[in-house]
Homo-oligomer: A and B are copies of this chain.
Amino acid sequence: MKLLSGAIAAVDHGGSLGRASALFPHAPQPFLDLSTGINPHSYPLFDLPATALSRLPEAGRLRELAEIAANAYGAQSAAHIVAAPGTQILLPRVASLVRPGKALVLGPTYAEHARAAAIAGHAVVEVRDFDALADADLAVLVNPNNPDGRVIERDRLVGLAARLRAKGGLLVVDEAFMDVGPIEHSLAGDVGEGGIVVLRSFGKFFGLAGVRLGFALADQLTTERLEAQLGPWAVAGPALEYGIRALADAKWQGGMRQRLAADAKRLDELLSRFDIAVAGGTSLFRYLSFPDAQSLFSALGERGVLLRHFADRPQVLRVGLPGSEEDWQRLESALAAWASRREDAPREC
């Protein structure tokens, strides 16, 4: 157990080319950024109507988005959906749905959950054991987990939610990567019972992290409370238009799930050729845990290939998917250079 109370300082994240340049000032640019779990194959861009930028977003269009999102995510109805400018901005609002108490976060995981719970006034503890979460006022987990891909089965989650609900607590399940499954363990269809908030991210699976769109799924009273906090026009015009089109496009989604699964398999095979075993992950990122992780991070970074490392866990890395064939070649060359250097290096015995 790790006490995180008061940890409201800014958190380090993947996806910043500015920080990459500071870390690896001599790396060839542009970076190949594999430090996020964002799909490199974006949903096809299209021309937005000028009014998506010039006019206030329409309430009717927002209702349409909620209908489509409910259908795409498997919520019972649009009344269970709150659209927001990214899930990130929802986190302190969601953590504030229960009075300040004991927040337990199943870790290690996405660090913003602990920060948000602390901002909301909770005493935050990171736990490693799922069963320990039953003791919380606010229990938070990511499913599948980031960065290791661990999955908690739906029936265990439903049981935990019932226990928390009975004492006025709340279970928050961040399903940021659930678009690539395992969908049978999603709680999206269970939020109507109350005591559950499910978070869904639009930008990761659709490769559109810049538009800022995310959703909270909850019972109707909770969605009304969150909507009151956001106020009108929380979702920008471009996010509305992309959300409506992409979330309704089941054909693209199905094809993309297959493509990402194949890409993840290809990445595992490539890494194994360099004796790097993949310890977990999802189709959007792979999780590595091995003693040489720090040397791999540095060697690839110097070649402009950016992985995600974690300051407090030097043996761990997360690797996103390359997009183009050129990117795959670049990753392979960088891995080969690291491997040959490793073979040349004197070993400690």
User: What is A's interface to B at a CB cutoff of 8 Å?
Assistant: 8, 10-11, 13, 15-19, 33, 36, 38, 42, 45, 50-60, 85-86, 88-89, 91-92, 112, 115-116, 119, 203, 207-212, 228-239, 242
Max count, chain B CB within 10 A of own CB: residue among A13, A59, A89, A210: A210
B212–A15 CB distance below 8 A:
no
A236–B234 CB distance below 8 A:
no
With a cutoff of 8 Å between Cβ atoms, the chain B residues found around residue A56 in the complex are 13, 15-16, 36, 38, 203, 209-210
Q: Which residue of B lies closest to A208 (CB)?
A: B53
Q: Which residue of B lies closest to A118 (CB)?
A: B228
A88–B231 CB distance below 8 A:
yes
Interchain residue pairs with CB less than 8 A apart (18): A11-B232, A15-B56, A16-B56, A18-B60, A19-B59, A36-B56, A45-B53, A54-B207, A54-B208, A54-B210, A85-B85, A88-B233, A89-B89, A89-B231, A119-B228, A119-B229, A236-B236, A236-B239
With a cutoff of 8 Å between Cβ atoms, the chain B residues found around residue A53 in the complex are 42, 45, 208, 210-211, 238, 242
With a cutoff of 8 Å between Cβ atoms, the chain B residues found around residue A57 in the complex are 210, 212
A210–B231 CB distance below 8 A:
no
Interchain CA distance A8-B230 in the complex, whole Å: 12
With a cutoff of 8 Å between Cβ atoms, the chain B residues found around residue A210 in the complex are 51-57, 236-238
Interchain CA distance A8-B45 in the complex, whole Å: 38
Distance to closest chain B CB from A224 (angstroms): 9
With a cutoff of 8 Å between Cβ atoms, the chain B residues found around residue A238 in the complex are 53, 210-211, 236, 238
Distance to closest chain B CB from A66 (angstroms): 14
Q: Which residue of B lies closest to A12 (CB)?
A: B232
A234–B88 CB distance below 8 A:
yes
Interchain CA distance A237-B85 in the complex, whole Å: 11
Distance to closest chain B CB from A39 (angstroms): 9
A58–B89 CB distance below 8 A:
no
Q: Which residue of B lies closest to A21 (CB)?
A: B60
- Complex partner residue of A89 from B16, B33, B85, CB under 8 angstroms: B85
Max count, chain B CB within 10 A of own CB: residue among A38, A231, A242: A231
Interchain CA distance A92-B60 in the complex, whole Å: 24
Max count, chain B CB within 10 A of own CB: residue among A51, A232, A236: A236
A85–B236 CB distance below 8 A:
yes
Distance to closest chain B CB from A273 (angstroms): 29
Q: Which residue of B lies closest to A203 (CB)?
A: B56
Distance to closest chain B CB from A131 (angstroms): 29
